[in-house]
Every structure is written in structure tokens, then in C-alpha cells.
């Protein structure tokens, strides 16, 4: 609450009277706040007779009277008597009467003739705001909520000299190799960009440049604007060339109009209803009460853009700072993206320009939106969609995609490299996550892979965000690093990364992975505590799960999202500026990680390029549980 003193012409005299035997804590808190703001506050003793309260009001002639009542018995009778006596004494002409407390409901107060009633959850700020005749503000008020830049203020300097040299050499060799090659994924991305350029030109949208996004609203992306007729022939040709670069179910879609199994188009009526829903719920989010980092992200991807938007609006209302698009896992193995407003019956919402535009249109102004390019054959084109449709962030994941996501390393190095160039051109930061840890790859190898990706991105003018896992990974299940607590080893990852590079850190994905169960209380508590660890480590952002994280019997429920967001809110309230303190073991592990990361990077350099090292298992071997992917194998070629 703002405790600055108000101007003299706003200062009021407030008389506070607890009409309980002893319960006056609430009024004492309000008195303190009023006095801090420069108002005059007179607190009567508890449990005075009604007649004496009226005499005191007549004596002091306050601008406001605040009564409080905690006990429920006889509340209506007592309050009615006070109002009657105040009316009879002519006190209502000058003084406004408000009542609050555990026994009070605003409706009762209105029925009894009070000027204002405050229910049990009323804050001190709301009471003060009433006196001052303004709307209440809160620490997390979103009235002027602007989006944060997670990468702001970071130099990206690699502080560890040996690692700096190793990364520079690896990046040089990898960039030289990747720049000389292309793939169907890269070419589709180029065609998709051309399509967007044509539509912008036809519709009079601004030229795409960093920071200038497609205007959001209900925008059919393809072929439905009258102006599109001027570029229809060119669009048809681009789509023909695009189709030639697709395969399987995606090609069937473009050639024959067939949709993949368990996919259906949304009807015009559904789209209209969706827009009504989004418009009705568009507003400002309240944040989670912290007013500072970390920003809290949730993942969505029910399969249906409708359901997604309903979940997103709920998450925003519960305080989420950002939302992350989760697409179907088969999307990573498909050559090409679909188009249209499409619903999908299984996990993951299909990446189409229309679906993304629809979701973007529904977001609150201050909500950060991540569209993950991630780990598959459409990495580069997804960055185009993210950039063109107004995403704030993307995700580019070469190591995980190659070793645990099923994509051929050659293909993903080429596509990932191009995606990083695209991300830089769109001004899109992206995170690089170490999901391969979940397959069994030890943290030091995964973090080494992360650093190579990050360094490659930095060399291309990008702004990567490091995303270590806070997870009960196979490595720690076997090695016992989390036998005592979940704090030290997770903290060690952050400490190690900070020793190496000045870059933003955003633990995921989500935090607490594999610590949650189907017990929603346990799940929410586990998530909350991991988020509090992230806050204690002062990272930029954190991704949290719902309390349905461990439930595999159906889609994530809306209520499950509330569980963890509410838990994290309480966690922020509990800790405030206080911190979880790791034991000295965390620093020992951090030092060990730095040494081991250095060794991995030395081996990687000896192997040749990033792709050589990936194939040779240096960033995760078969023994670890990592296997070079096969999707896209043999599809890269030399440029020109």
C-alpha cells in the first residue's frame, strides 16, 4: 500500500469503533494506515454501549465512522440501532457510516442503511481508498501493467575464460557448418515468411520489423480478407511450393483437404462464440502479489483453442504473468504445419497461424506469450509464426530435440541455427531447456549442451534465456543428490550457470517435475516450494505445472490451474523478501558442475562441431538414455 501522505484537502477525520468485546485488530490496522496517510483517526475502546458510541460521534463530528463486528450473534440488531440513533441525532448529514468485519456482508450493510459494507476479505487498502474517494490499488495492480523483458540488463558475457574459449571455437565451427546447409524446414519457413509479407502488403499492415506485430483481434489469417484477392495468385503459388516440402498427413491436408485423425475445424458459430468469450474476459491481470521477479508462466495446450482460451483467462485472473503454448508431440515429427482454426482431441494445441492468432487476440495486454519452436522439424517455421503473430518469446532446443525429442541432429542443428537467426531478426528472446535430463542425461552434459546453443544464439545476435530443470531427474534418483532435500542440487545448477555466463535464467519446465503426485495438495505444495526456491535464487521467471501434472487419465482441468497459482501466491506472501537458504553442498555441486561442463566442452571441441558431438553422445549418450533422433534424417543439403 502507498503510505505517502495525502494533500491537506484530502485529509479526513475517521472515528473507528469496534462493537465486539475484544476484537479490534482490524480497526487498529486501518487506524495505522490512515495515520500514515495523514488522516486523523480516533479509535474507541471495544464494546462500548451504542449510546456512548453515538455521543462520541456527535462530539468528534468525523467525516467517516468505521464500525467493526466479528461476532455474528445479534449483529443486525446492534447495527440497526446504531443507524437509527445516528439518524435521530442528525449525524448522517455530515458523516458517512461504514461497517466491516467477519460478521458483515455488504448486502446486510446496505439493507440496514449503511453507506458502505466491507466483507471479511476486505483489505486495509480498500478501507483507506474508501476514505480517500478513490479506487483501491494493490502492490500487484495491473492498471499500468507492462510486459517485462526477461533479458534486459544482461551482458551475455561468458565469465569463465576456458569455457569462453571452448564455446567460441565450437560455435565458429558449428556456424560454418550450419550456414552452408538448408533443409525443407528452413525452406518452409522462408515461404511462410513470404506469405506473411504478401498478406501484410495486401491488407495494409505495417512492415514486419522487430517490435511491430500483426494487429491482433479477430483476424482470419488466410484468404478471407477482401484484399487478399490482389495477392491470391501469388499466395496460391507459394502454397504450392510449400506443399511440395511437406509429407504425410500434412501433404494430404494441402493436396486433398484431409485433416489428420482426431482433428476437426472449428465452425463459424464456434469462432463467433469464442470471440465473445475472449472479449468478455479481456481485462487486466492482478499478478501474484509479488510485484517483482520471478515472473510465473503456465503451460496451456488442451488441444482446443476454445478450451485453451478459457484456461488462459482463468490463469490470468489467478495471476499468471505468462502463458506457454504446448503443441502436440506429433507436430515435431511432421514435415509442415497445418492451417485453419483447428481443434485436436488429444494433448497439445495444433500450431496453425489461425489458432495462434485467435489465442493471441484473447490475451490480456500484459500477459507474456511464448510459442515454442522447440525441438522438431518445424522449428524454423514456428519462429516465423511466433514472430509474425506477436509472441513475446519462443523456445529453440537443439540438444534436447536431437537426443530426446526424436529429431535428427544434423537436421536440428541446421533448422535450429536458422531459427536462431529468425528469432534475432524478430527480436524474440527464446529459452533453451535441458529436458534431456528427463531421459537420464546428467545435468552437466545437458547444461553443456544448453551453453553451446546459447552461445550459438548469442553469436547470431539473439537473446537466449537459460532454462535448467528443477526436477527429480533420473540422475538424482540414481545418484541420491536429492535424498535430503530438493533445494541444493537445483540451486547448484543456477549457481553454476551464473559462474559461467551473465545471462537470464528461467527454471522449468515445469519446476518440480517428477516430484508431484495425483494428490492435489501435495502437488500444489511441491510446485509452490520449487517456485519459492526459484524466487530465492532471484531468477527471472519460472514455469509452474497445474496440480494435474501427475494425472494421466485426461486433460488438465481448469481447477487444477487455480491450485498451483493460488499456492504460489501464498508462497510469495509467506516469503516476501525472505529466502530459502541452500546448504554448502549446493556450492560444492555447482563447482563440480562447472568442472564437468568444461570437460564436456573439451571433448565436444575434439569431436568437431556441435552436430558431431551430438552424434557421438558427448552431450548425452545411449547409456545415459539419450538417442540421436531419426525424424528428418537425410533431409539436409548444401545451399546452392
Binding site for other proteins (CB under 8 A): 262, 264, 270, 273-274, 277, 302-304, 306-307, 310, 314, 343-345, 517-520, 548, 551, 553-555, 557-559
The distance of closest approach from Cβ of residue 558 to other proteins in the complex, given in angstroms and rounded to an integer, is 5
CA separation, residue 27 to residues 91, 113, 124, 127, 137 (Å): 21, 21, 9, 10, 19
E strands along 257-316, which residues? 263-265, 295-300
The nearer residue to other proteins, 198 or 558, going by C-beta atoms, is: 558
Please tell me the distance from the alpha carbon of residue 152 to that of residue 535, in angstroms, as a whole number. Answer: 18
Quick check: helix, strand or coil at residue 146?
coil
Please tell me the distance from the alpha carbon of residue 144 to that of residue 269, in angstroms, as a whole number. Answer: 35
Q: Which three cell numbers stand for residue 336?
A: 509442415
Query: Considering only CA atoms, which of 422, 372, 377 is closest in space to residue 183?
Result: 377
Please tell me the distance from the alpha carbon of residue 379 to that of residue 186, in angstroms, as a whole number. Answer: 8
Report yes or no: 156 and 503 within 8 Å, Cβ to Cβ: yes
The nearer residue to other proteins, 310 or 501, going by C-beta atoms, is: 310
Report yes or no: 419 and 616 within 8 Å, Cβ to Cβ: no
The nearer residue to other proteins, 302 or 434, going by C-beta atoms, is: 302
The distance of closest approach from Cβ of residue 200 to other proteins in the complex, given in angstroms and rounded to an integer, is 32
Query: Considering only CA atoms, which of 349, 374, 297 is closest in space to residue 555?
Result: 349
The nearer residue to other proteins, 173 or 344, going by C-beta atoms, is: 344
The distance of closest approach from Cβ of residue 220 to other proteins in the complex, given in angstroms and rounded to an integer, is 19
Q: Which three cell numbers stand for residue 167?
A: 564455446
Quick check: helix, strand or coil at residue 68?
strand
Radius of gyration of the chain, Cα coordinates, nearest whole angstrom: 29
The distance of closest approach from Cβ of residue 279 to other proteins in the complex, given in angstroms and rounded to an integer, is 13
**Helix, strand, coil abundance in the chain, percent, nearest 5:** 50, 15, 40
The nearer residue to other proteins, 204 or 554, going by C-beta atoms, is: 554
Please tell me the distance from the alpha carbon of residue 93 to that of residue 629, in angstroms, as a whole number. Answer: 79
The distance of closest approach from Cβ of residue 362 to other proteins in the complex, given in angstroms and rounded to an integer, is 14
Residue corresponding to grid cell 495438495:
521
Report yes or no: 150 and 393 within 8 Å, Cβ to Cβ: yes
Please tell me the distance from the alpha carbon of residue 456 to that of residue 459, in angstroms, as a whole number. Answer: 5
Half-sphere exposure of 150 (CA within 13 A, CB side): 32
Neighbours of 405 (CB within 10 A): 22
Residue corresponding to grid cell 494425472:
551
The distance of closest approach from Cβ of residue 386 to other proteins in the complex, given in angstroms and rounded to an integer, is 22
The nearer residue to other proteins, 194 or 270, going by C-beta atoms, is: 270
The nearer residue to other proteins, 30 or 266, going by C-beta atoms, is: 266
E strands along 92-241, which residues? 96-100, 116-118, 181-182
Angle at which helices 353-362 and 379-388 pack, to 10 degrees? Answer: 40
The distance of closest approach from Cβ of residue 249 to other proteins in the complex, given in angstroms and rounded to an integer, is 17
The distance of closest approach from Cβ of residue 519 to other proteins in the complex, given in angstroms and rounded to an integer, is 5
The nearer residue to other proteins, 415 or 548, going by C-beta atoms, is: 548
The distance of closest approach from Cβ of residue 328 to other proteins in the complex, given in angstroms and rounded to an integer, is 12
The nearer residue to other proteins, 272 or 588, going by C-beta atoms, is: 272
The nearer residue to other proteins, 318 or 451, going by C-beta atoms, is: 318
The distance of closest approach from Cβ of residue 261 to other proteins in the complex, given in angstroms and rounded to an integer, is 12
The nearer residue to other proteins, 51 or 519, going by C-beta atoms, is: 519
The nearer residue to other proteins, 184 or 303, going by C-beta atoms, is: 303
The distance of closest approach from Cβ of residue 269 to other proteins in the complex, given in angstroms and rounded to an integer, is 9
Q: Which three cell numbers stand for residue 547?
A: 496440480
The distance of closest approach from Cβ of residue 262 to other proteins in the complex, given in angstroms and rounded to an integer, is 8
Amino acid at each position: 500500500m502507498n503510505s505517502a501522505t495525502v494533500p491537506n484537502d484530502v485529509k479526513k477525520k475517521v472515528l473507528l469503533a469496534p462493537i465486539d468485546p475484544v476484537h479490534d485488530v482490524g480497526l487498529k490496522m486501518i487506524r495505522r494506515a490512515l495515520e500514515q496517510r495523514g488522516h486523523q483517526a480516533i479509535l474507541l475502546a471495544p464494546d462500548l454501549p451504542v449510546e456512548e458510541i453515538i455521543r462520541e460521534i456527535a462530539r468528534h463530528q468525523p467525516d467517516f465512522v468505521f464500525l467493526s463486528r466479528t461476532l455474528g450473534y445479534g449483529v443486525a440488531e446492534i447495527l440497526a440501532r446504531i443507524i437509527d440513533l445516528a439518524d435521530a441525532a442528525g449525524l448522517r448529514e455530515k458523516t458517512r457510516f461504514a461497517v466491516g468485519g467477519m460478521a458483515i456482508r455488504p448486502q446486510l450493510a446496505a439493507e440496514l442503511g449503511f453507506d458502505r459494507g466491507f466483507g471479511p476479505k476486505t483489505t486495509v487498502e480498500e478501507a483507506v481508498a474508501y476514505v480517500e474517494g478513490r479506487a483501491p490499488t494493490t502492490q500487484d495492480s495491473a492498471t499500468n501493467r507492462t510486459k517485462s523483458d526477461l533479458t534486459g540488463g544482461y551482458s551475455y558475457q561468458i565469465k569463465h575464460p576456458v569455457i569462453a574459449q571452448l564455446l567460441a571455437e565450437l560455435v565458429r565451427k558449428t556456424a560454418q557448418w550450419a550456414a552452408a546447409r538448408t533443409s525443407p524446414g528452413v525452406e518452409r519457413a522462408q515461404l511462410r515468411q513470404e506469405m506473411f509479407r504478401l498478406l501484410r502488403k495486401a491488407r495494409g499492415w505495417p512492415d514486419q520489423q522487430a517490435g511491430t506485430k500483426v494487429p491482433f483481434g479477430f483476424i482470419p489469417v488466410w484468404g478471407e480478407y477482401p484484399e487478399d484477392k490482389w495477392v491470391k495468385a501469388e499466395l496460391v503459388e507459394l502454397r504450392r511450393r510449400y506443399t511440395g516440402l511437406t509429407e504425410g498427413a500434412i501433404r494430404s491436408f494441402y493436396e486433398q483437404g484431409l485433416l489428420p485423425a482426431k482433428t476437426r475445424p472449428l465452425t463459424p458459430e464456434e469462432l463467433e462464440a469464442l470471440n465473445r468469450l475472449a472479449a468478455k474476459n479481456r481485462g487486466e491481470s492482478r499478478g501474484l502479489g509479488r510485484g517483482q521477479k520471478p515472473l510465473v508462466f503456465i503451460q496451456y495446450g488442451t488441444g482446443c483453442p476454445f478450451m485453451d482460451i478459457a484456461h488462459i483467462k482463468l490463469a490470468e485472473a489467478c495471476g499468471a504473468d505468462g502463458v506457454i503454448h504446448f503443441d502436440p508431440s506429433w507436430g515435431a515429427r511432421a514435415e509442415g504445419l497445418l492451417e485453419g482454426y483447428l481443434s485436436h482431441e488429444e494433448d497439445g494445441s495444433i500450431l496453425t497461424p489461425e489458432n495462434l492468432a485467435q489465442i493471441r487476440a484473447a490475451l490480456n495486454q500484459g500477459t507474456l506469450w511464448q510459442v515454442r519452436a522447440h525441438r522438431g522439424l518445424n522449428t524454423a517455421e514456428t519462429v516465423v509464426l511466433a514472430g509474425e503473430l506477436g509472441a513475446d518469446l519462443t523456445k529453440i532446443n537443439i540438444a534436447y530435440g536431437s537426443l530426446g525429442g526424436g529429431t535428427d541432429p544434423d537436421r536440428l542443428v541446421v533448422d535450429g541455427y536458422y531459427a536462431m537467426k529468425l528469432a534475432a531478426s524478430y527480436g524474440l528472446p527464446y529459452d533453451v531447456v535441458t529436458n534431456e535430463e528427463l531421459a537420464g542425461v546428467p545435468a552437466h552434459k545437458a547444461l553443456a549442451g544448453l551453453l553451446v546453443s546459447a552461445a550459438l544464439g548469442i553469436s547470431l545476435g539473439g537473446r537466449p534465456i537459460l532454462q535448467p530443470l528443477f526436477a527429480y531427474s533420473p540422475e538424482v534418483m540414481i545418484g541420491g543428490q536429492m535424498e535430503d532435500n530438493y533445494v541444493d542440487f537445483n540451486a547448484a545448477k543456477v549457481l553454476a550457470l551464473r559462474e559461467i555466463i551473465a545471462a537470464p535464467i528461467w527454471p522449468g519446465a515445469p519446476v518440480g517435475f517428477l516430484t508431484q503426485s495425483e494428490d492435489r495438495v501435495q502437488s500444489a505444495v511441491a510446485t509452490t516450494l520449487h517456485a519459492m526456491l526459484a524466487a530465492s535464487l532471484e531468477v527471472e521467471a519460472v514455469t509452474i505445472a497445474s496440480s494435474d501434472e501427475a494425472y494421466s487419465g485426461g486433460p488438465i482441468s481448469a481447477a487444477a490451474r487455480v491450485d498451483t497459482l493460488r499456492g504460489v501466491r501464498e508462497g510469495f506472501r509467506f516469503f516476501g523478501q525472505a529466502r530459502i537458504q541452500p546448504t554448502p553442498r549446493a556450492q560444492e555441486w555447482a563447482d563440480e558442475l562447472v568442472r564437468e561442463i568444461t570437460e564436456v566442452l573439451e571433448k565436444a571441441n575434439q569431436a568437431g562441431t556441435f552436430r558431431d558431438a551430438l552424434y557421438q553422445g558427448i552431450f548425452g549418450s545411449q547409456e545415459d538414455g539419450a538417442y540421436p533422433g531419426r525424424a528428418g534424417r537425410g533431409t539436409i543439403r548444401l545451399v546452392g
